[in-house]
Amino acid sequence: MPGYYEEVGKIVKQAREIGLEVPMMGGDGWDSPKLIEIAGAKALNKTYYSSAYSADDTDPSTQKFIKAFKEKYKKDPDFFSMMGYNTVVILADAYKRANSEDGTKIAEAMAKTKDLPVAGGKLSYDDKHNPIVPALIIEVKDGKPTFVDKISF
């Protein structure tokens, strides 16, 4: 079920109210604590979504990011915190490899990124500039997003 947590929360809640008990799946737009507030913990049982982040991911790069974020901000990071962090890591790496402030050269260096350590694993870009990063499978159990598996490409 594509969509963001606001719509998905309402859809899941209404589906459960009419007796639809099948597993439901979606993407990283589900990744928000507000999903549980909207749908309710019980309604979200047997739901799954993919994400690039879970605090339960034991990858050293993820745990390093979480530790540094908590030390600086005195709170737990979320998906959007991790995405902001990774953006800076990617840009800083491309800037350094480009050895230039020229935007075209930085973009070219970014396009050549291979196996860059970021929070969540290693990032590369394919020949069409799509990011290749691990995908995490999250299951919602009794209102708690639970790390299930990590799929690397």
Asked if 113 and 30 count as a contact pair (C-beta separation under 8 A), the reply is: no
Radius of gyration of the chain (CA): 18
For residue 81, is it left (φ>0), alpha (ψ between -120 and 50) or beta? alpha
28, 39: one domain? yes
Domain that holds residue 44: 5-52+134-151
The CATH number linked to 147 is 3.40.50.2300
Number of domains observed in the structure of the chain? 2
Token look-up 């860059």 returns 116
42, 100: one domain? no
**DSSP track, 69-86:** HHHHHSS---HHHHHHHH
Each residue's pLDDT, cut to its tens digit, for the chain (153 residues) gives 999 999 999 999 999 999 999 999 999 999 998 999 999 999 999 999 999 999 999 999 999 999 999 999 999 998 889 999 999 999 999 999 999 999 999 999 999 999 999 998 999 999 999 999 999 999 999 999 999 999 987
Give the residue from 39, 56, 52 showing the smallest Cα distance to 79: 52
97, 114: one domain? yes
- For 46, the 3-state DSSP assignment is coil
Asked if 79 and 51 count as a contact pair (C-beta separation under 8 A), the reply is: yes
> What is the separation of C-alpha 93 from the centre of its chain, rounded to a whole number of angstroms?
20
pTM, to two decimals: 0.83
Beta strand pairing call for 131-132 and 144-151: unpaired
